[in-house]
Homo-oligomer: A and B are copies of this chain.
Amino acid sequence: MQQLEKVAWDRHSYLFDGQRRFLVSGEFHYFRVPKEDWRRRLRLWKDAGGNAIATYVPWLIHEPEEGRFAFGPEPWRQVEAFLELCAEDHVHVIARPGPYQYSELRGNGVPLWLFEKYPQLLATDLAGKPRSRISASYIHPIFLEKTKAWFDQVCPLLAKYTLDRGGPIAMAQFDNELMGIHEWCGGWDYNAQSMGFGREDGRYASFLRQRYGSIEAVNEAYGTKFASFADARPIEDKGSRSNEDRRRVRDYMEFYFSTIGEYARILMQMMRERGLDVPFVHNSANPGMNAYFREMMRQTGGQVLLGSDHYYTLNMNWEQNNPTPLYASKCYYSMEMLRLMGCPQTVFEMPGGSCSDFPPVTPSDLRACYFMHAALGMKGVNYYILTGGPNPPGMGTTSDIYDYNAAIAADGTVRPLLQVQKEFAQFLHGNSWLAEAGLDSDFSIGLDWDHALAGNYFANRGDLEMSSADAWLFWRKGMYVSAMCGSWSAGMVDLHSDDLLSSTDRPLWVAASVCMARSVQERLVKFVSEGGRLLIAPVIPYLDENFRPCTLLRDFLDGASVSECSGACLRLNAGPVENVQLSGRLFKAQTLPSGAAAMAREVNSGATCGWKVARGKGSLIWLGLQWMHTMNEHSRMVEYLLAECGVRSRVVECDNPNVWTTLRSGAGRRMLFVMNLFSSPMVANIRVPSAGEGKPVRYELPPMTVQPVEIR
């Protein structure tokens, strides 16, 4: 029998028998799809270009009563028969044995008896109130003990079917969308037993002890009067206004994330010890949660492939019902974050239908969504779901039939969406060189991970000039959107990594709040000193991420400081670009660095709102504007500022700000992606200067289309 290819991955892409290829997976639940139709649907999927399927192995289904495990006789419990079939049909499997599944199953896929018999394991708020009736506290000893009993059964069973043992299982996912069951039910977990409140040797006390050394230091940091570590408690207030409170909330956030890392390590160890020794994957529930996983990634030391789930609508309460440019922005930063965490960018739940019939998730919208992901560098995809079927009796939370408007309907009918997925798979397989291609960029946008998390502790700026949540918004809705509308290609770089220092060839733009980690400030000073061209806006930080004074960057700029412009009608002249509309706040220079040359002024007062200065081998521009991209003038301002950073040509020239482009290159080949993510037709004239001196090419783009064009 032919062997299934070995699957591995590195930071660039997946490797199938060592060859760089795209992962093209579809969610296929053996417990829903009728057994007699497994093979036909698997073959439909292979025919459509799929090279993997993913499936939950739901605890709920296989341990109906505590201690009674069932992997048959009902067809929907026969996971082994299914895995055998996948092996026979040469389809890789991503196995997702929980403990949590979600998947519109009762108990989110965890047996209900667990919560009923052991309510003490529920995640709670600070007052001890359960987050919900089915939200577990991950590291509660009883939850871990019961998980272990489940893994004792399921992992050895799955282990028989790993690739190494001739089976189809290429990867395993622990749990599902970690932290979602807490966050969506009101907030993080404060289960007193799990966190060890009140105990000197509790997790929380240990965390504080390690961070602060003494309870006096904790009290100094928090403005509290705890008698001991056992006495210490967090607060929950995301809108904290004092630095002490912000610090206390932020610390709890980091502590909570560390418990997630601990939980992930425990699960991985359990799985490995039971023979399930395949690469591990996990899925962040949405782009906004990707940053939550940095600590887990640190604790697991590069052993986990983190992907993200990228829905654009699941019902009327969602902001959009099609893949808009703002959705594209979200997917961009999501995938760039994954890349910067060392993972080949994977969307583990790519919309492949919707659990709601209305508003519809249509094949043509999805086509645009899929190709847009290729444009932004996706390396692996798993459609949620590829196909469904009847829920096992009493197991589903929605209707009896889990159809999801998927490519293959619950009843086995093929829908037009499968053809779209086939077309996309053909594109990916026909251009597997794209799997190791990178973005051709004009400049870099710096990612400050603290900003991505700041909504949890620093959304309220109080008396401070600029919060980190403001900076995160500015980064997404100002810098990035202005770049895309202005036809610049912006790559993302990690301000927390020394890789930054090897990218001085490209200007770096940083959205700053008053807080910036000491290490980041150090790195930025070094970046400029070594020849980098930095733009920082709209403030110059003077605190570190813990709200302690830290003025490395300011000192580097001779104590440069800024204050907010006030007045009824502020506007900016940025070099030759006049009357730039604000759509955000404006700051003026209070103290300028020596040698700084003004380059932007408030129109009415003439106050200096931007300056440029040379330092070391490089240069630094400060601009006092926090904008949201609304006007074409913003793009013209960016053009001027980039020119001042030495960027005078573009990778792609596109004359329509509503048509976004990317150019990806590798292995001597280049692919241009042209995107119209609006409901109206668009026309754009596009030129890739490096392709020669030719005239621009005219593109007529129907509504909601993404067109890939190989550039020779």
Contact = CB atoms under 8 A, between A and B. Distances in A.
A568 B681 CA distance: 46
Q: Is the interface of A mostly helix, strand, loop or mixed?
A: loop
Contact of A629 (B316, B396, B703): B316
Contacts of A133: 568
Interface in A294-325: 315-317, 319-322, 324-325
Given A106-B568, A325-B359, A315 B703 contact: no
A65 interface: no
A219 interface: no
A42 to B, nearest CB: 28
A437 interface: no
Interface string A96-127: 00000000001100001000000000000000
A326 interface: yes
Contacts of A322: 678-680
A704 interface: yes
A602 interface: no
Nearest to A396: B569
Contact of A358 (B315, B321, B400, B657): B657
A643 to B, nearest CB: 21
A420 to B, nearest CB: 11
Given A324-B321, A568-B107, A571-B399, A630 B680 contact: no
A565 to B, nearest CB: 14
Interface string A464-492: 00000000000001000100010000000
Contacts of A571: 399
A658 interface: yes
Nearest to A363: B680
Tell which of A106, A579, A633, A678 has the most Cβ of chain B within 10 Å: A678
A681 B481 CA distance: 28
Interface residues of A, number: 59
A365 B630 CA distance: 19
A214 interface: no
A394 B569 contact: yes
A658 B326 CA distance: 23
B680 A364 contact: yes
Contacts of A401: 579
Contacts of A568: 106-107, 112, 133-134, 397
A608 to B, nearest CB: 21
A358 B703 contact: no
A327 B580 CA distance: 31
B315 A630 contact: yes
A356 interface: yes
Given A481-B316, A704-B703, A678 B360 contact: yes
Contact of A317 (B365, B628, B679, B681): B628
B631 A681 contact: no
Contacts of A398: 581
Contacts of A578: 400
Given A359-B325, A362-B680, A680-B364, A569 B106 contact: yes
A583 interface: yes
Contacts of A106: 568-569
Contacts of A356: 583, 630-631
A632 interface: yes
Nearest to A316: B477
A710 interface: no
B680 A315 contact: no
12 contacts: A134-B568, A316-B481, A317-B477, A321-B325, A321-B678, A324-B359, A355-B630, A359-B658, A362-B679, A363-B680, A364-B681, A396-B569
Closest 3 CB pairs of A and B: A679-B679, A362-B680, A356-B630
Given A106-B569, A107-B568, 9 more contacts: A355-B630, A357-B631, A358-B657, A358-B658, A365-B678, A394-B604, A398-B581, A399-B581, A703-B704
